């Protein structure tokens, strides 16, 4: 994460129990041990009981931590909990003052902000800032926001909460993928002036997950905002997938196995012409809006029912066979046309070996 240029990391929710507390402490200690340029952050409800463990971890590890104190701000959440705005303001003020008194930086997380009444956000946001919070996180907890809605929400908070404050206050955006708009919403938040946006590896998270960190970094890179070494993205995603026990879909952008693979004969022929001239940049641009080389990857040519001789010749050359051998070309094309999928290397190898085996068995 540090080498990718990610600036901050949520270490956990230490009040959730002994195991989470131990994990939070371990991760904070690793930041200190490895001297990682990552700002630590911990989740908490607006309760002293949730904030005290964060202060304890900060004291034990010497790592400055930010308390992400959250409370639901939408009308549906208030109705479900039986909350009043006055009661919420009181709880928030007590929590922020306690955290600040413990030496913690505080981010007020307006949970379900995308469905909250503007007046509620204004009241809670101003109360949090007046008590010492120096960051406000607008959370699209149900993934209900649209890019235009995000722009308006961020602009509203900037004008109604941040601008009146005599102290600098940052705005975070935290979005979920329920409608498939999390990435677009992150970019909209940035355009509207958000100072920090949240994402997770492979978009994992509650329900359909959060904005995808790898896609956010890739898109920021296309905008010229590269913060670190994007060639580490594949390793980052593979590591996260293994740790979390999830699979990376073959068609996942950037890091999926098919992300930079083409099997169409027309497409492959054009890519191979560019590669043949040593023009990797042109090869990347022909059928991809993302340059594979920026992520330490390369264009891949597969053989499928849609492929032509260019695909086959390329595969033969890449695997040490005579790319002009007409019998091998014919055998691979026949295998591809008979299949209902792109051939794996093992299937191509089997087709080649059948031809070579028949040659060896033929009388001289």
Q: What is the DSSP letter of 344?
A: P
The two structure tokens encoding residue 33: 């041990």
* Res. 157 pLDDT band, cuts 50 70 90: very high
The answer to whether 351 and 332 have CB atoms below 8 angstroms apart is: yes
- Residue spans of beta strands (DSSP E) within the chain: 8-12, 39-45, 65-72, 105-111, 135-140, 170-175, 196-197, 261-262, 300-301
The mean pLDDT value for 198-204 works out to: 97
pLDDT tops 70 at residue 192: yes
pLDDT tops 90 at residue 183: yes
What would the pLDDT profile of 86-105 be if each residue is shown by its tens digit? 999 999 999 999 999 999 99
Q: What is the mean pLDDT of the chain?
A: 94
Lowest mean pLDDT across 219-223, 253-257, 286-290: 286-290
For residue 152, the model assigns a pLDDT of 98
The answer to whether 191 and 158 have CB atoms below 8 angstroms apart is: no
The answer to whether 225 and 234 have CB atoms below 8 angstroms apart is: no
For residue 359, the model assigns a pLDDT of 79
Between CA 339 and CA 333 the distance in angstroms is 10
Q: Report if pTM > 0.85.
A: yes
The answer to whether 48 and 93 have CB atoms below 8 angstroms apart is: no
Between CA 159 and CA 225 the distance in angstroms is 26
Lowest mean pLDDT across 130-134, 190-194, 357-361: 357-361
What would the pLDDT profile of 310-319 be if each residue is shown by its tens digit? 888 888 888 8
* Res. 364 pLDDT band, cuts 50 70 90: low
């Amino acid at each position: 994460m540090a080498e990718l240029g990610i600036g901050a990391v949520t270490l956990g929710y230490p009040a959730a129990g002994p195991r989470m507390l131990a994990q939070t402490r371990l991760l904070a200690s690793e930041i200190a041990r490895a001297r990682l340029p990552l700002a630590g952050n911990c989740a908490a409800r607006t309760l002293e009981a949730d904030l005290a463990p964060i202060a304890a971890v900060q004291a034990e590890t010497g790592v400055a931590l930010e308390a992400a104190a959250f409370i639901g701000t939408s009308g549906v959440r208030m109705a479900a909990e039986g909350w009043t705005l006055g009661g919420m303001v009181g709880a928030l003020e007590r929590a922020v003052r306690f955290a600040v008194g413990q030496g913690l930086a505080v981010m007020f997380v307006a949970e379900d902000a995308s469905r909250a009444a503007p007046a509620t956000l204004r009241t809670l946001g101003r109360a949090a800032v007046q008590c010492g919070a120096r960051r406000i996180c607008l959370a699209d907890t149900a993934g209900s926001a649209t890019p235009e809605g995000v722009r308006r929400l961020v602009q509203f908070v900037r004008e109604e909460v941040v601008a009146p404050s005599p102290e600098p206050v940052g705005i975070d955006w935290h979005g979920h993928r329920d409608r498939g708009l999390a990435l677009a919403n992150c970019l909209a938040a940035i355009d509207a002036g958000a100072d920090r946006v949240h994402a997770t590896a492979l978009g994992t998270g509650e329900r359909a997950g959060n904005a995808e960190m790898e896609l956010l970094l890739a898109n920021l890179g296309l905008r010229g905002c590269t913060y670190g070494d994007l060639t580490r993205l594949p390793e980052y995603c593979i590591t996260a997938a293994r740790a979390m026990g999830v699979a990376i879909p073959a068609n996942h952008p950037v890091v999926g196995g098919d992300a930079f693979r083409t099997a169409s004969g027309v497409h492959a022929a054009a890519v191979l012409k560019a590669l043949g001239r040593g023009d990797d940049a042109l090869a990347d641009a022909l059928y991809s809006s993302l340059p594979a080389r920026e992520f330490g990857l390369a264009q891949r040519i597969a053989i499928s029912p849609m492929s032509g001789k260019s695909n086959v010749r390329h595969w033969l050359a890449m695997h040490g066979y005579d790319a002009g051998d007409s019998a091998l070309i014919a055998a691979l094309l026949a295998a591809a046309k008979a299949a209902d999928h792109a051939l794996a290397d093992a299937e191509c190898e089997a087709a080649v070996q059948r031809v070579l085996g028949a040659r060896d068995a033929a009388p001289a």
